[in-house]
């Protein structure tokens, strides 16, 4: 990625399977019990977007350099992209973050999917490792693997 703050893909070019993932993810977020999380990990990269519900709000995080190996650190251009797209600098959690109070599942899903695509290079939900401690959430998100390319 160049040092300019630009995505490698155009924002209006979200792949069909990722566009179809938005309502599935938004519904899973809406049903996520208080204090539970969803992690959308990008296979074999150490990169992720994670969501957690709390006190009627939602916090969305994407990996910061604190959690990445030296050879996988975010570049200045990537850090600029995050800042330009409203991600806050890491706090004590070590990740870049957004918060919605009250919770807004569709906005959260949109930010998560767009970031996974434009920032982390995800083209299809099959490229994700999905984790949650809530079985109903995992069951709802299993539909992502069935989305066509």
Task: DSSP for 77-88, please give it.
Answer: HHHHHHHHTTPB
Token output for 142: 């299993």
Q: How do residues 3-47 score in pLDDT, each as one tens digit?
A: 444 444 555 678 999 999 999 999 999 999 999 999 999 999 999
- Predicted confidence at residue 22, as pLDDT, reads 94
- Predicted confidence at residue 3, as pLDDT, reads 44
- Predicted confidence at residue 143, as pLDDT, reads 87
- Predicted confidence at residue 147, as pLDDT, reads 75
Q: Is residue 130 a contact partner of residue 50, using CB atoms and an 8 Å limit?
A: no
Place of tokens 């251009």: 77
pLDDT at 76 over 80: yes
**Exposure string for 89-123, b = 16+ CB within 10 A, e = fewer:** ebeeeebbbbebeebbbeebbebbbbbbbbbbebe
What does pLDDT average to over the chain?
Answer: 90
- Predicted confidence at residue 6, as pLDDT, reads 47
Strands in 37-42's sheet, in edge-to-edge order, are 96-100, 57-62, 47-54, 37-42, 128-131
């Amino acid at each position: 990625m160049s040092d300019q703050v630009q995505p490698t893909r155009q924002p209006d070019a979200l792949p069909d399977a990722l566009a179809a993932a938005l309502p599935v993810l938004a519904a899973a977020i809406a049903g996520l019990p208080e204090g539970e999380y969803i992690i959308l990990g990008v296979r074999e990269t150490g990169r992720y977007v994670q969501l957690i519900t709390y006190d009627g709000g939602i916090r969305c995080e994407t990996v910061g350099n604190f959690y990445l190996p030296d050879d996988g650190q975010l570049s200045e251009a990537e850090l600029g992209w995050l800042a330009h797209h409203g991600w806050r600098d890491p706090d004590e959690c070590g990740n870049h973050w957004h918060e919605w109070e009250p919770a807004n599942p569709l906005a959260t899903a949109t930010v998560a999917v767009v970031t996974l695509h434009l920032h982390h290079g995800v083209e299809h939900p099959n490229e994700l490792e999905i984790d949650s401690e809530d079985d109903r959430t995992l069951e709802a998100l299993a539909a992502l693997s069935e989305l066509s390319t």
